[in-house]
A and B are shown apart, each in its own frame.
Chain A
Amino acid sequence: MTPAPHETGTSAVVTFANVRIGFDEGDVLRGVSFEVMPRETLVLLGETGTGKTLTLKMAAGLLKPTDGKIEVLGQEVSAMGERELLPYRRQLGFVFQEGALFDSISVADNVAYGLREERLSEEEIGPRVREALRFVELEDTGDMLPSELSGGMRRRVSIARALATRPPIVLYDSPTAGLDPITAQTIITLILRLRDVFGVTAMLATHRLQDGFALANFRFDAESKRVVRLTQRENTGAGRSENSEPITKFVVYKEGRVYFEGAPEELAESKDAYLQRFLV
């Protein structure tokens, strides 16, 4: 599969500037700011209801912030109308919490969905679908319906659907929630592979710290086709080359604000009581 087109410069791919969003019950996010650099993986940590999913949905333009500015791939998403947002969203991959597969069509049709929306020919779509399903090791499930798959397999198909269009950015909404540890590990390995093989920039919402640390401490080695522990880590995006090690950054939400933003080591060494709750 050809690597996804992505920026290799140092300007942020995703920028949230003082973003607020609220509903009738009050504000959920009260002025959130952060940046995601090219090829960086941003792990959004927070307890349930702290606005992690809302953040991803706003980045994808599925929800509008009540205030603040969101820029993704140089486009001001928060100022775009629904008509402009439709082509914009085709540049992103979105993996929903429960997979959100279309349950009335086959697995292969689910994966082909985004490609058909791009009006590709069936001759092009077939190999791309098989390639995406092979990536998630579910090549034989193409003719099955999503309801015939296990929960973990559905998440993997969801990842295949997200990567089929080769997006430069993939957003993961709690991709391991509700899965057993082994299946969760399989999903994280897939996310690692997607990042390290195709160089995608990612935002991952989770309440499982181990997911974030797995992304921070391991990488997929394309030559040996194995997941290996990182030996050396660069913590700044400056001067990074194509071959540099992947950067993982953590953002922790608390009461609608960014409570912590930094490298995995800073989070691991923190003595803060709230952050310690995630470390236990």
Chain B
Amino acid sequence: MGEVLTDAFKQFLANIQDYAEMAVRSLANLATGPRYFQDILDQMDDIGVGSLPIVLMAGFFIGAVMVLQTGSQFTRFGQTALTGDVVAIALVRELGPTLTGILVAGRSASGIASVLGSMVVTEQVDAMRAMGTDPSRKLVTPRVLAGILMLPLLTALNDFIGLLGGCVASVFSLRLNAVEFWTRAINALDFADIMQGMMKPLVYGFILATVGCYKGLTVRGGTQGVGRATTQAVVVASVMIIGADLFLTKLALYLGDKIF
């Protein structure tokens, strides 16, 4: 029993080591050639443009729900005007980046894992290596870079659409003035909030792309293995994003106090 646990723990550590090595290499590859610019653009299109509809829809609804929830509390104190402040801060600091991260993880980490996993089981990755291509450069780096570049942009759009959803809900449900909502929402935000909201998705993009790539490239066991890797990629990436959120929030609050 003890031996089994020791072996499992060793395997766990070995996996973390392999993941860390792959993640570091994916960024280190950028320093030297060859670079695959077309693949980077393709991945930016897939992760960025491809995720746009779900991110925008979810953003709109979550903004509207936030207004309904907070508005019902503020109504008790006759302070419904504060709704814009709360929604703006919650969306920009926390909900926007984390929700975007989890949504894109659900869509793209799984997509990355299934594509790369299928390539592994059909020997396409070996064929690539056999023709002198480094899969880390051709497959991993473009996806990681696209994740890092696209997540902040998606988050910014999610924040805006979230506020728009909040505005619509506050106008129709709380009978607030739209101009007042936007003015309070914008005035409530300071530079530290924006920085926090834009720093997090950089890390989330890195996490979801590297986890997707790692799970895909380490697929074992044919098509069943691809299915398993796809599920694991979403679960691991989502949990890592939420875990990272805790530390990033603490770091951002600390930096916000020190710098701004």
Contacts and interface: CB of A to CB of B under 8 A. Distances in A.
Contact of A100 (B34, B126, B133, B134): B126
Interface in A48-63: 57, 60, 62
A6 to B, nearest CB: 19
A117 B123 CA distance: 18
Most buried by A among B34, B124, B127, B134: B127
A90 B131 contact: yes
B124 A100 contact: yes
A236 B133 CA distance: 37
A127 B124 CA distance: 25
B130 interface: yes
A86 B132 CA distance: 4
Contacts, number: 51
A119 B136 CA distance: 19
Interface string B104-142: 000000000000000100111011111111100000000
Count class of interface residues, chain B: 10 to 19
A113 B127 CA distance: 11
Interface stretch (A91-99, A130-138, A184-192, A216-224): A91-99
A165 B130 CA distance: 12
A180 interface: no
A114 interface: yes
B132 A114 contact: yes
Given A98-B122, A100-B122, A103-B122, A60 B127 contact: no
A168 B130 CA distance: 14
Interface string A58-96: 001010000000000000000000100011111010101
Interface string B43-72: 000000000000000000000000000000
A149 to B, nearest CB: 14
A100 B132 contact: no
Contact of B132 (A87, A98, A102): A87
A119 to B, nearest CB: 8
Contacts of A82: 134
Interface in B161-186: none
A63 B127 CA distance: 13
Nearest to A164: B131
A160 to B, nearest CB: 13
Contacts of B119: 102
B28 to A, nearest CB: 13
Contacts of B129: 62, 86, 89
Contacts of B122: 98, 100, 103
Given A100-B122, A103-B122, A94 B132 contact: no
Interface in A99-125: 100-103, 113-114, 117, 119
Nearest to A86: B132
B131 A100 contact: no
Contacts of B130: 60, 62, 89, 92, 94, 96
A131 B26 CA distance: 36
B133 A117 contact: yes
Contacts of A60: 130
A92 B127 CA distance: 11
Contacts of B127: 94, 96, 100-102
A100 B128 CA distance: 9
Contacts of A96: 123, 126-127, 130
Contact of A97 (B123, B128, B132, B134): B123
Contacts of B34: 119
Interface in B192-234: none
A193 to B, nearest CB: 22
A86 B128 CA distance: 10
Contacts of A62: 126, 129-130
A86 B34 CA distance: 12
B119 to A, nearest CB: 8
6 contacts: A62-B129, A89-B129, A90-B132, A96-B123, A100-B126, A102-B128
Interface of B: 34, 119, 122-124, 126-134
Interface of A: 57, 60, 62, 82, 86-90, 92, 94, 96-98, 100-103, 113-114, 117, 119, 161, 165
Given A62-B126, A100-B124, A119-B34, 9 more contacts: A89-B130, A90-B131, A92-B130, A94-B131, A100-B123, A100-B127, A101-B127, A103-B124, A117-B131
Q: What 7 A-B pairs come out closest when comparing CB atoms?
A: A90-B132, A100-B127, A100-B123, A94-B130, A89-B132, A114-B131, A86-B132
